[in-house]
Chain A
């Protein structure tokens, strides 16, 4: 009786881990969130598929129903994969699902995934950390209550700030960082649908941030590295050695 909580990575099926792919290949049930994960779900040819995310006009079921489904499937003894975008424990409710399963006596096996916090910027040619530009990486859950974050401290810390699932929160985050003293000319890059065929990057600054009205999932990078683009042979300003 085990449910495998598998990180699907940032979107490209080739960025699933070896273990994740092996589990999917023999999965009997796959529970996933987004219809857009179809390519990764296809790695599970024999599994019964359960989409528990928002599908068009149909809203997603509440979290407790998803937990209950996982417990029910887990108790059958079948090979169950709960597929989570990115990493199951980064800006995701994988933690809550793990707790619910453990409480129900169903064993949980966590298989980490490549987080969009690192991979989405990389796909846009942005290294999240560069020795001369950024010594810290701060990742913020845009789908949680962003007002709970001490933005003044984040602004003071500087480095690289990545906002995940932050379409709704982007304007508030930008305002809070400016209020906290982050320079208005700090570069900002918004990466839409990273590692998918329709990936798109829009760049700006804190003073003139990119629009959040881009197709999900949206990853926003704030900091000096957001001006870099290694895919363009570094057409953007190169880091100044310190």
Chain B
């Protein structure tokens, strides 16, 4: 058989299904969804098929097949476990010129069922000769790609082209598959992407050649002005009619200065939207088996940036209060000064033997973990040569994740 792929309008048309086992159970929901008037002929049925009959979704004649059952049918499925009955159904279908699928022997019928999948009103059908696993695998991969935005199903459709503006998208902790479906989809539709150093490179590699990628770390005008320059670029491109994705590592609002960018866009009259991301403060510990909260072990966790030392006059973090908490403490950007932070915590009441884990390159293939205690962590990471970016987790939950 060299099949011809077609879409049938079955609404209100009779479809006869013979047999009510697991094959019929898989085919029936789509026939019902297509609006077919389904006549099921079978002496017994699986509980799921029975439920469809009880719900009035199909008509079930509780008996065996008899010649003449295909009268008025537009389409037929022979899916009993008995090849003799299936052959009889196929023969009647042939005689009446009704297309018929034979479940036990594809070549014995006049039609074959495609592996089908739905995505937002798009219906995909795949036929792969007599290799159902191949067609199912291709179907799965296509649906996956559509759902996750790897394949853009509406590059030109007016209703899908983003209006000019800015989307702040959290790219997650590093692994390119840990961006959200919406984040990935917006990225696929960007004209301009302004990316952080911590945004996964692989996500940028997947972009089309027409997309302008700007490295936020290389925006000129020196450190003090960098944020203002980034804001200015977002606004400039959006006002020129482009859709701009500001791709940020982790979540845009967790140490991301996302709020400043949102304010700048709003003040300039540029529409802006925020797509949350997975913050590394939670996901990097999880990636090495450490839950930041755990019933009866840690009721709370605190996320703190370590870019300013505790004794620095510009520090706004109350380290004595942190030292008195007993839950989980996650320090970001703290690996270079870890000894100072550990000392401050111990001085203010945290036990020197509190477990500590330092995770470098979390969720990436290059991920490394050093486990230690508050008293010894500075020496431990120096010995291991751990460099930023790294996440520090402190508290009893660290011991839960011990291998």
Contact = CB atoms under 8 A, between A and B. Distances in A.
Interface of A: 7, 9-10, 12-19, 21-22, 25-26, 43, 45, 87-96, 98-99, 110-115, 118-119, 121-123, 127-131, 135-141, 144-146, 148-150, 152-154, 156-158, 228, 230, 233-234, 238, 242
Nearest to B324: A153
B255 A93 contact: no
Contacts of A91: 293
Contact of A22 (B144, B256, B266): B144
B277 interface: yes
Contacts of B282: 87, 89-90, 112, 115
A87 B286 contact: yes
Given A17-B278, A89-B291, A144-B295, A234 B144 contact: no
B253 A90 contact: no
Nearest to B348: A153
Main secondary structure of the interface of A (DSSP, over half): mixed
B367 interface: no
A119 B276 contact: yes
A14 to B, nearest CB: 4
Contacts of A138: 300-303
Interface in B281-301: 281-283, 285-287, 289-296, 299-301
Contacts of A19: 175, 177-178
Contacts of B257: 131
Contacts of A238: 263
Contacts of B173: 112
Interface string B348-387: 0000000000000000000000000000000000000000
Contacts of A128: 253-254
Main secondary structure of the interface of B (DSSP, over half): mixed
A121 to B, nearest CB: 8
B305 A135 contact: yes
Given A17-B181, A18-B148, A118 B325 contact: no
A89 to B, nearest CB: 4
B27 to A, nearest CB: 13
A234 B123 CA distance: 42
Contacts of B274: 122, 230
Given A18-B148, A89-B282, A95-B294, A139 B289 contact: no
Contact of A135 (B176, B290, B304): B304
Contacts of A18: 148-149, 176-181, 184
B312 interface: no
B325 to A, nearest CB: 5
A151 B288 CA distance: 29
